[in-house]
A and B are shown apart, each in its own frame.
Chain A
């Protein structure tokens, strides 16, 4: 098993910069997730590792080998496509055997290795079926078995769950993660679904407009976002624009807010909805205590979103848990919102 290294990798299509200056070191056995909106460059990055896109600049290493200019068939990566891309004219068994045959595995060993791969995804009883005779979830698992059968150095997953329905997605998610940990295979997954990313990854990379925005653990990204983009893309945030200076912040609407930051000048505060406390009267022990009026209440069963307008310019969303004793505010109620000074602040 081996790690992967991307060094200042750029891909330009004419004037369009698909990825720019991507630096990543993926450790041996690590499950890394590339997360971002569509067009952020995550798929291009994955395809460069697989060898379908040649970088304009920079280098890619798999283990100790510089693969930057190697064609896909000379690399050892197993790619699972979003559309599964199973060969329709071959049976499940033949699909899984394809990579072994291409890599000149002795005929006597192929059958056994195919069975092992199919057992991993619990489909060894369906070897003689054709892909069209399988359900979407089964096809997905065959694609996974096919990508793993020849024991590649790296497993690449391109939005592998987006064609499955919600219930199946949860199952396959756990299955892929378990398998990956059992095999200890270095894995890179691309997704735009943050829940998928957060539940599966060892480490996440948030990308936007071809650039890496932040690399880190789930906690790093959620609790310590380094940019407004990450704060809005991973989880949800309410944003308050304003000016910072000397651990003070004044919102666009003129409200004074205490912050734990040495920032000066134009800035923005990101507030996680579940970290805003809602009360009928001002709370005594918090510095940020602001009055407002409930504008909208969105009931989601277990959780309730309360949109609070502080003034013409400032507006926050507080999320409360729906318990027996929860006092659900009504529209036009006067309430107080408060939050800790440790909330994230970014320069504008």
Chain B
């Protein structure tokens, strides 16, 4: 009997049980996948509706809402601001998280656990609470210093930096822990100073973690609503807030079109990142 025949020669009961297990897994995975994708599919569908008031079934399809969104200067302005804040906050967050990660993973000192938890805190605290706290802080800071802090661009970036830090910290720490430090010793043995060794050997090795941390930080900044609500002023709003404000007046599919664009940007960012570092390896 051939080897393949042997595999099929398992007792019928065990074969059924094994197949049943595989089917349960596949069905479960498919259900979860649909559950996650369904809202995205509906939003995308809605963005191509012809009529202004969403109703089922659609009277026809068009791309006019995309044109409408592109022509809306408030959305454009909000989008630009979101991207600016996202980029700057991500850059600052990474610059702070990298040395913090090194200190947390390589040195043991008093209060290490406390600092670690403190830096991860923004991930756990509800955004709304963080927003109120920052708002109060900014009021106090402005009163104390007489600087225009409230509603400033810098204030907004500061708040979003807090969103970036935990992601950057977690992912950079994870790659530093997995990094074999004998590589640094090898570089030093070959004549590299401690700093050169870090730059030439450690940084390339932990780059996937840094990029992934930056990307997650950027995505959480771009999508943030609750925290930003407390930090913006009229005339300077981020995209999620602009969407919310628009929804208070009408519910035409322009919002759906903008959401689709937002999703595409994030998907694009992930695909580009994935070309440089395998996301599945670091997350």
Contacts and interface: CB of A to CB of B under 8 A. Distances in A.
Interface of A: 50-52, 71-73, 77-79, 81, 83, 85-89, 98-99, 102-103, 146-147, 150
A148 to B, nearest CB: 11
13 contacts: A52-B188, A71-B188, A72-B189, A85-B180, A86-B186, A87-B183, A89-B204, A98-B190, A98-B192, A99-B190, A99-B191, A102-B192, A102-B196
9 closest pairs, A vs B, by CB?
A102-B191, A99-B190, A85-B186, A72-B188, A89-B204, A85-B182, A79-B189, A103-B191, A102-B192
Interface string B171-191: 000000000101101111111
B189 A50 contact: yes
Q: Which of A50, A52, A72, A78 has the most CB of B within 10 A?
A: A72
A236 B180 CA distance: 37
A72 B193 CA distance: 8
B69 to A, nearest CB: 42
Given A73-B192, A102-B192, A102-B196, A87 B187 contact: yes
B190 A102 contact: yes
Given A85-B180, A85-B183, A77 B205 contact: no
Nearest to B193: A73
Nearest to B197: A73
Nearest to A96: B190
Contacts of B204: 87, 89
Contact of B191 (A52, A81, A89, A150): A150
Place the interface of chain B in its size category: 10 to 19
A204 to B, nearest CB: 24
Interface string B184-212: 01111111111010001100110000000
Contacts of A102: 187, 190-192, 196
B110 to A, nearest CB: 18
Contacts of B189: 50-51, 72-73, 77-79, 147
A150 B187 CA distance: 13
B53 to A, nearest CB: 56
A73 B188 contact: yes
Given A87-B201, A89-B205, A81 B182 contact: yes
Contacts of A86: 186
Contacts of B194: 71, 73
Given A83-B182, A85-B182, A150 B188 contact: no
Contacts of A79: 185-186, 189
A224 to B, nearest CB: 36
Contacts of A98: 187, 190, 192, 200
Given A72-B185, A87-B187, A150-B191, 4 more contacts: A52-B185, A72-B188, A81-B185, A83-B180
A150 B192 CA distance: 13
Contacts of B182: 81, 83, 85
Given A87-B201, A89-B205, A102-B196, A150 B186 contact: no
Contacts of A146: 186, 190
B186 A81 contact: yes
A57 B261 CA distance: 67
A150 B190 contact: yes
A78 B183 CA distance: 14
Nearest to B204: A89
A51 B185 CA distance: 10
A71 B193 CA distance: 8
A124 B196 CA distance: 27
A86 B190 CA distance: 12
Q: Which of B188, B201, B204 has the most CB of A within 10 A?
A: B188
Contacts of A89: 204-205
A301 to B, nearest CB: 35
Nearest to B182: A85
A117 to B, nearest CB: 12
Q: Which of B186, B188, B193 has the most CB of A within 10 A?
A: B186
A85 B185 contact: yes
Contacts of B205: 88-89
A306 B232 CA distance: 89
A52 B186 CA distance: 10
A87 B181 CA distance: 11
A77 B205 CA distance: 25
A72 to B, nearest CB: 4
Nearest to A52: B185
A168 B182 CA distance: 24
Q: Which of B188, B191, B193, B194 has the most CB of A within 10 A?
A: B191
A146 B186 CA distance: 10
Interface string B85-114: 000000000000000000000000000000
A50 B192 CA distance: 13
Q: Which of B186, B189, B201, B205 has the most CB of A within 10 A?
A: B189
A73 B189 CA distance: 6
Contacts of A51: 188-189
Nearest to A99: B190
A98 B184 CA distance: 12
Nearest to B189: A79
A86 B182 CA distance: 9
Nearest to A77: B189
B127 to A, nearest CB: 37
Contacts of A83: 180, 182
